[in-house]
């Protein structure tokens, strides 16, 4: 129904898609395509998972759901909030997480390397201790716990507000016995702790990039995004100190986004290994011995 009032769920998805396109909303908080954003909005209004929407495309939503779709659409366009905040949820590595403006919307490429049931380039049955630095909502920490069923995971963030959300997600996913939220400025409160695997998606957005961010991104906590002049304010200290918190065969997985170029330019003599994801190659991978040259730099 291209021009009439939407009737079926499919009609509503197409209607929402047209309105979002016309409003030039910015994406990137769980979707990279307007059709996907529209489908997520409609499924959220219906109270179902986005992946279940295809089974309902021919159905006709009632007045309450139709009103909810219209309200969400109007708010998405007017406020420019990420849809995840309007719905109070985000999907990461195939699972639902609670989110609100206290945390960045989880979308790290690290999720691609933490599949449940194995198949990861990081797969190692001997991994029993994991650290997720800058955990935010706790999504990466929980995904890591699922990918490595024998592991205990420390989920660290400097933000007490973010950790309150992480605690809710830990409980939601039944991980209270395995994922442990900790308030710490990077490694400051982790003295003496060593891990088989450290994963981190730290703030890495440069000052220039911060100045150009669309309105949607400005609803997220600046603390979770801003990485200083070149985006490396936390990345470099993390690389310099990670070795002392890794076991003998430990490894580090670190996402640096668009700051990859700045990192390589600042340290031209360092060797970098970048994991190939579906979207980009900005996730670095180091074994403990690879980090020797970083220590005390």
Can you list the domains of the chain with their CATH numbers? 9-87 (no CATH), 100-291 (3.40.50.150)
Return the ∠ at Cα 133 (arms to 127 and 138), rounded to 5°.
85
pLDDT (0 to 100) of residue 5: 87
pLDDT (0 to 100) of residue 293: 84
- Rounded to two decimals, what is the model's pTM? 0.94
CA-based radius of gyration for the chain: 20
Q: What is the mean pLDDT of each run of 10 residues along the chain (297 residues)?
A: 79 98 97 97 97 96 98 98 98 96 96 79 86 98 95 98 98 98 97 97 97 97 97 97 96 96 94 86 94 76
SS3 percent helix, strand, coil of the chain, rounded to 5, is: 40, 15, 40
Stated length of the chain = 297
pLDDT (0 to 100) of residue 1: 42
What is the Cα–Cα distance from 28 to 107, expressed in whole angstroms?
8
Closest CA relative to residue 255, chosen from 123, 108, 132, 144: 108
Cα dihedral 138/141/146/147 (nearest 10): 140
> What is the tally of helices (H) and strands (E) in the chain?
9, 9
What is the Cα–Cα distance from 183 to 96, expressed in whole angstroms?
23
Strand partners, 266: none
Closest CA relative to residue 39, chosen from 214, 31, 66, 79: 31
pLDDT (0 to 100) of residue 278: 75
Angle between helices 34-46 and 9-23 in degrees, nearest 10:
130
């Amino acid at each position: 129904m291209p021009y009439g009032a939407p009737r079926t769920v499919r009609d509503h998805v197409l209607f929402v898609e047209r309105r979002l396109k016309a409003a030039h909303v910015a994406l990137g908080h769980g979707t990279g395509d307007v059709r996907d954003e529209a489908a997520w909005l409609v499924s959220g209004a219906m109270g179902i998972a986005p992946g279940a929407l295809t089974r309902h495309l021919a159905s006709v939503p009632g007045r309450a759901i139709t009103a909810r779709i219209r309200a969400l659409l109007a708010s998405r366009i007017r406020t420019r909030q990420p849809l995840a905040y309007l719905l109070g949820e985000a999907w990461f590595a195939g699972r639902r997480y609670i989110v609100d403006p206290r945390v960045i919307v989880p979308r790290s490429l690290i999720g691609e390397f933490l599949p449940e049931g194995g198949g990861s380039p990081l797969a190692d049955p001997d991994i029993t201790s994991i650290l997720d630095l800058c955990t935010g909502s706790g999504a990466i920490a929980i995904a890591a716990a699922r990918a490595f069923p024998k592991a205990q995971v420390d989920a660290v963030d400097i933000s007490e507000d973010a950790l309150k959300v992480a605690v809710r997600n830990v409980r939601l996913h039944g991980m209270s016995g395995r994922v442990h939220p900790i308030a710490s400025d990077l490694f400051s409160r982790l003295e003496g702790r060593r891990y088989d695997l450290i994963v981190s998606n730290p703030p890495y957005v440069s000052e220039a990039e911060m100045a150009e961010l669309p309105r949607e991104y400005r609803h997220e906590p600046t603390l979770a995004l801003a990485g200083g002049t070149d985006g490396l304010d936390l990345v470099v200290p993390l690389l310099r100190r990670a070795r002392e918190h890794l076991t003998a065969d430990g490894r580090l997985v670190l996402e640096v986004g668009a700051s990859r170029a700045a990192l390589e330019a600042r340290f031209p003599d360092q060797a970098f290994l970048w994991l190939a994801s579906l979207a980009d190659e900005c996730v670095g991978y180091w074994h403990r011995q690879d980090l020797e040259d970083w220590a005390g730099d």
